[in-house]
């Protein structure tokens, strides 16, 4: 190889299609068109799924059709522009927060370098400020005097097909993790800007299948996979067998039992996919150990709410399903499993959408008598709050040495950490059940980095995108793996459990992923157990 | 002045230019170049750490087997970003030019430019190794994708459920 001339090399490196924009990155951002190619976009929703959702009461998903992001013509409805501008006007009227977020950004740049998509791509349109500017520029053009008069000089631009394509590209390169919001001096919730972009796109039939199919399944059978009641029941019962094989104690479970004290709802992924299965087994061991009077539901068989990634009507409807079931069964309150966005919906939107849930009782732990004042209105308690309280009152017999095969670190899941402030309870639990260490300070707690695949971006066709978006998280895990021999990344989110597994398989193949309750159950000493030495805890295969 | 001394003296300058050049391949690279906290800036931090380690190996004429670790650190990242394979590895080659440029600007060390044959050869080996490593990460990426699809499919047949595995074994 010859000695390269820097200019020539630069040509091959910097010029030509690069980054997600597919263009030379020296132009003004407004002038850079998006280029869709395999690997940088998620597959569009199947027409029949969109049509089904549109046919459902309370939901609005018009303009279903077959289309492809790679085609020039997205087959938009003729009046697509009117639909978008009217949709934006309606939302500005309905959501005061949106109006404020559109007006109050001073472009200080505090958020710019906080987004994991920006940190993984170096694409300026992944700076939260610029991502929001994609919508704000149109808002200025059509809804502000300065924009109407000064146009581009005031940062305004007309809504065009190119802008719409840009919205699609970048509203699906945001996981609504809200890390940027932590740093915004005005508290602008950029996730809500993304939510609005996605809502507007749905009005013209532009959405992705990985979100709309689970949303339609949830509406139809109650869970993302579309499992019917008997299948859901079978899966949970398989896990009961597994727990009995491993511990000698058969957990007592019930489904749709009227009069149970508590309704337990968790993401359906916990009962049908690794490594969530072990977390589900953990729930059963925990509840059995304390003799909890609870029931599963085959109808409210999904904690996840892909409505949050779709539009507010779908979010409301899917959330309401849990409460309808709680009311039908006559339980006192709901105990929620390890889920991420279920808790964001609960803490930030449930009360105004469907609450307060006055037909339920203020949650009280039947074991310790603790009143969960924080859940007085939503009537739903997080499993980690519940477990930490049990440990605090000495109600669990724990043997930490049963987790001696694990050296853990803790991933604060975005939604539970930033949207509900669940920061110390998991750490308190970890202290009692496992040897663990923290990741670096600027990657945990409120500043935690997203798994890179949240908000329905956990689909395989964008694996590269997910790997680069997850780099900041993986980079911090790599550090504790190399320095402290960490071999397990624990978390309280089902999407995390699935996507961090792939993320670790790429970046840190020697680190596994588990739910917190799996670690708790590994350590629980149960009455009457005939448990052999389980070298890998609940993951041990017994023959 | 011998070559080793020349490398020692100008190490920092060469590495800085090399890192700067490599990071210029990103659309918005100011932050990547400026921020030194490796957790706040994983692309910049890992690029700097990898190229610093690699330069020492290249300058000392170490065995090319040792290039693997820093190259993996760099290429794991570039293999999942939107670079073509050549764009992903091209910045490695730039160190030849940068080293010449730095030596040439120093009157006392200008003559060292003629002694860079072994160094150039080491860089060539690093570039070749980088292609292999790039491909390994691409293959790992596809494997991760396949594993994920597979685990999804098995969901419905519950083949991964331990008790089911057990019952199949007993059949």
Q: What is the pLDDT of residues A87-100, one digit of tens each?
A: 999 999 999 999 99
User: B156 contacts in A (CB within 8 Å)?
Assistant: 225, 272
Q: Would the pLDDT of A248 be above 60?
A: yes
CA of A227: which chain B residue's CA is closest?
B156
Q: What is the pLDDT of residue A538?
A: 95
- To probe the interface with A, which of B22, B42, B92 has the most A CB atoms within 10 Å? B42
Alpha carbon of A326: minimum distance to chain B alpha carbons (Å)? 27
Contact call for residues A53 and A59 (beta carbons, < 8 A): yes
CA of A232: which chain B residue's CA is closest?
B156
Q: Would the pLDDT of B100 be above 60?
A: yes
User: A471 contacts in B (CB within 8 Å)?
Assistant: 42-43, 77, 80
Partner-chain contact A235 B80, CB within 8 Å: no
What's the whole-number average pLDDT of chain A? 93
Number of domains in chain B: 1
Partner-chain contact A6 B94, CB within 8 Å: yes
**B-proximal residues of A, 139-158, CB under 8 Å:** none
Of B17, B7, B12, B18, the closest CA to residue B58 belongs to: B7
Partner-chain contact B43 A476, CB within 8 Å: no
Q: Would the pLDDT of A21 be above 50?
A: no
**Is B145 inside a domain boundary?**
no
CB atoms closer than 10 angstroms to residue B16: 16
- To probe the interface with A, which of B76, B126, B144 has the most A CB atoms within 10 Å? B144
**B-proximal residues of A, 476-505, CB under 8 Å:** 476, 479, 498, 502, 505
Residue A328 host element (H or E): helix A312-329
Q: Would the pLDDT of B157 be above 60?
A: no
Q: Would the pLDDT of B154 be above 80?
A: no
Partner-chain contact B162 A122, CB within 8 Å: no
Residues 6+ apart with CB under 8 A from A446: A182, A417, A418, A423
Partner-chain contact A505 B127, CB within 8 Å: no
Q: What is the pLDDT of residue B149?
A: 86
Cβ neighbourhood burial of B133 (10 Å; 0-12, 13-18, 19+): buried
Task: Say how far residue A44 (Cα) sits from the centre of its chain.
Answer: 19
User: B141 contacts in A (CB within 8 Å)?
Assistant: 463-464, 467, 506
Q: Does A6 touch chain B (CB under 8 A)?
A: yes
Partner-chain contact A506 B96, CB within 8 Å: no
Cis peptide before A356 (omega within 30 of 0): yes
This model's pTM is above 0.90 = yes
Among B91, B155, B166, the residue with its CB nearest the CB of A13 is B91
Per-residue DSSP letter, A4: P
Alpha carbon of B139: minimum distance to chain A alpha carbons (Å)? 10
Q: How many CB pairs under 8 A join A and B?
A: 166
Partner-chain contact B164 A463, CB within 8 Å: no
Tokens linked to A60:
């609005």
Of B83, B101, B99, the closest CA to residue B43 belongs to: B83
Q: How far apart are CA A6 and CA B98, in angstroms?
A: 8
Contact call for residues A215 and A150 (beta carbons, < 8 A): no
Mean pLDDT score, A364-374: 97
User: A505 contacts in B (CB within 8 Å)?
Assistant: 140, 143-144, 147
Partner-chain contact A475 B94, CB within 8 Å: no
Q: How many CA atoms lie within 13 A of A190 on its CB side?
A: 32
Alpha carbon of A244: minimum distance to chain B alpha carbons (Å)? 10
User: B152 contacts in A (CB within 8 Å)?
Assistant: 273, 460
Helix, strand or coil, per DSSP, at residue A210? helix
- Cα angle at A477 between A470 and A348, to 5 degrees? 55
Angle between helices B68-78 and B117-157 (to 10 degrees): 50
**B-proximal residues of A, 423-452, CB under 8 Å:** 440, 442-443
Partner-chain contact A122 B29, CB within 8 Å: yes
**Is B11 inside a domain boundary?**
yes
Partner-chain contact A121 B87, CB within 8 Å: no
Alpha carbon of B57: minimum distance to chain A alpha carbons (Å)? 19
Q: Does A200 touch chain B (CB under 8 A)?
A: no
| Domain assignment of residue B62, given as a range | 3-137
Per-residue DSSP letter, A508: -
User: A440 contacts in B (CB within 8 Å)?
Assistant: 39
Q: What is the pLDDT of residue A17?
A: 39
In this predicted structure, which of A2-16, A364-378, B82-96, B121-135 has the lowest mean pLDDT? A2-16
Tokens linked to A459:
């689909």
Phi-psi region of A106 (alpha: psi -120 to 50; beta: other; left: phi over 0): alpha
Q: What is the pLDDT of residues A411-438, one digit of tens each?
A: 999 999 999 999 999 999 999 999 999 9
Q: What is the pLDDT of residue A102?
A: 96
Domain assignments of chain A as residue spans, ordered by start: 18-207, 214-539
Alpha carbon of A239: minimum distance to chain B alpha carbons (Å)? 8
Q: What is the pLDDT of residues A448-490, one digit of tens each?
A: 999 999 999 999 999 999 999 999 999 999 999 999 999 999 9
Radius of gyration of chain A (CA): 24
Q: Would the pLDDT of B164 be above 60?
A: no
Partner-chain contact B41 A440, CB within 8 Å: no
User: A121 contacts in B (CB within 8 Å)?
Assistant: 26-27, 81-82
- Tell me what percent of the residues of chain B surpass a pLDDT of 90: 82
**Is B32 inside a domain boundary?**
yes
Partner-chain contact B25 A13, CB within 8 Å: yes
Tokens linked to A25:
């990155």
**How far apart, in Å, are the Cα atoms of A535 and each of A284, A403, A405, A526, A541?**
20, 9, 7, 17, 9
**B-proximal residues of A, 218-257, CB under 8 Å:** 225, 235, 238-239, 241-242, 245
- Binning pLDDT at 50, 70 and 90, where does residue B158 land? very low
**B-proximal residues of A, 449-478, CB under 8 Å:** 460, 463-464, 467-468, 471-472, 475-476
Q: What is the pLDDT of residue B89?
A: 96
Exposure string for A329-365, b = 16+ CB within 10 A, e = fewer: bebbbbbbbbbbbbbbbbbbbbeebbbebeebeebeb
User: A542 contacts in B (CB within 8 Å)?
Assistant: 166
Cis peptide before A438 (omega within 30 of 0): no
Partner-chain contact B87 A13, CB within 8 Å: yes
What's the whole-number average pLDDT of chain B? 89
Is ipTM over 0.85?
A: yes
Mean pLDDT score, A328-343: 97
Partner-chain contact A443 B166, CB within 8 Å: no
Mean pLDDT score, A127-139: 95
- Binning pLDDT at 50, 70 and 90, where does residue B151 land? confident
């Amino acid at each position: 190889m010859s000695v390269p001339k820097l200019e020539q090399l630069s040509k091959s490196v910097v010029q030509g299609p690069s980054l997600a924009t597919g263009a030379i990155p020296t132009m003004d951002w407004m002038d850079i068109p998006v280029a869709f190619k395999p690997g940088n976009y998620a597959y569009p929703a199947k027409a029949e799924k969109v049509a089904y959702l549109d046919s459902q009461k309370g939901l609005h998903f018009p303009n279903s059709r077959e289309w492809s992001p790679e085609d020039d013509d997205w087959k938009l409805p003729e009046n697509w522009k009117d639909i978008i501008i009217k949709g934006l006007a309606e939302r500005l009227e309905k959501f005061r927060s949106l109006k404020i977020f559109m007006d109050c950004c001073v472009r200080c740049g505090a958020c710019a370098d906080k987004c994991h998509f920006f940190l993984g791509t170096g694409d300026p349109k992944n700076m939260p400020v610029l991502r929001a500017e994609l919508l704000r520029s149109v808002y200025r053009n059509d809804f502000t005097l300065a924009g109407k008069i000064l146009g581009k000089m005031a940062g305004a631009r007309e809504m065009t097909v190119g802008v719409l394509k840009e919205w699609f590209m970048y509203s699906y390169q945001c996981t609504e993790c809200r890390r940027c919001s932590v740093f915004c001096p005005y508290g602008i919730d950029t996730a809500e800007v993304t939510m609005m972009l996605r809502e507007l796109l749905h009005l013209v039939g532009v959405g992705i299948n990985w979100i709309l199919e689970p949303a339609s399944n949830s509406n139809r059978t109650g869970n993302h996979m579309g499992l019917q009641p008997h299948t859901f029941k079978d899966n949970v019962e398989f896990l009961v067998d597994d727990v009995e094989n491993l511990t000698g104690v058969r957990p007592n479970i019930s489904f749709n039992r009227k009069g149970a004290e508590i309704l337990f709802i968790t993401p359906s992924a916990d009962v049908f996919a690794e490594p969530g299965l072990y977390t589900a087994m953990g729930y059963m061991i925990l509840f059995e150990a304390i003799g909890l009077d609870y029931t599963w539901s085959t109808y409210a068989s999904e904690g996840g709410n892909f409505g949050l990634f779709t539009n507010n009507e779908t979010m409301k409807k899917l959330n309401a399903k849990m409460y309808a079931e709680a009311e039908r069964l006559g339980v006192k309150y709901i105990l929620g499993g390890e889920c991420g966005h279920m808790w964001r919906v609960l803490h930030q939107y449930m009360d105004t959408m469907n609450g307060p849930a006055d037909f339920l009782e203020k949650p009280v732990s039947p074991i310790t008598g603790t009143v969960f004042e924080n859940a007085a209105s939503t009537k739903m308690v997080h499993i980690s709050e519940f477990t930490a309280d049990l440990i605090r009152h000495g109600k669990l017999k724990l043997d930490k040495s049963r987790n001696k095969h694990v050296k853990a670190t803790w991933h604060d899941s975005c939604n539970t950490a930033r949207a509900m402030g669940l920061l110390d309870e998991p750490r308190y639990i970890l202290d009692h059940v496992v040897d663990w260490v923290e990741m670096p300070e600027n990657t945990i707690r409120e500043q935690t980095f997203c798994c890179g695949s949240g908000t329905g971006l956990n689909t395989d066709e964008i694996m590269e995108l997910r790997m680069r978006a997850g780099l900041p998280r993986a980079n911090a895990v790599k550090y504790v793996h190399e320095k402290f021999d960490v071999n397990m990344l624990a978390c309280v989110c089902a999407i995390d459990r699935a996507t961090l597994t792939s993320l670790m398989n790429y970046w840190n193949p020697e680190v596994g992923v588990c739910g917190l309750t799996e670690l708790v159950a590994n350590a629980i000493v149960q009455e009457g157990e005939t448990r052999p030495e389980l070298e890998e805890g609940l993951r041990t295969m017994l023959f | 002045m011998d070559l080793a001394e020349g490398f020692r003296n100008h190490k920092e300058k060469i590495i800085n230019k090399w890192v700067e050049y490599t990071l210029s391949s990103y659309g918005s690279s100011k932050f990547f170049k400026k921020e030194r906290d490796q957790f706040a800036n994983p692309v910049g931090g890992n690029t700097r750490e990898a190229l610093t380690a690699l330069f020492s190996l290249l300058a000392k004429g170490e065995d090319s087997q040792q290039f693997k670790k820093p190259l993996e650190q760099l290429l794991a990242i570039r293999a999942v970003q939107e670079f073509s394979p050549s764009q992903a590895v091209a910045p490695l080659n730039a160190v030849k030019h940068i080293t010449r440029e730095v030596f040439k600007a120093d009157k006392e060390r200008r003559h060292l430019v003629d002694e860079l044959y072994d160094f150039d050869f080491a860089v060539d080996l690093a570039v070749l190794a980088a292609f292999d490593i790039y491909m390994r990460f691409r293959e790992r990426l596809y494997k991760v994708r396949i594993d994920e699809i597979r685990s999804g499919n098995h969901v419905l047949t519950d083949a991964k459920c331990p008790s089911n595995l057990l019952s199949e074994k007993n059949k």
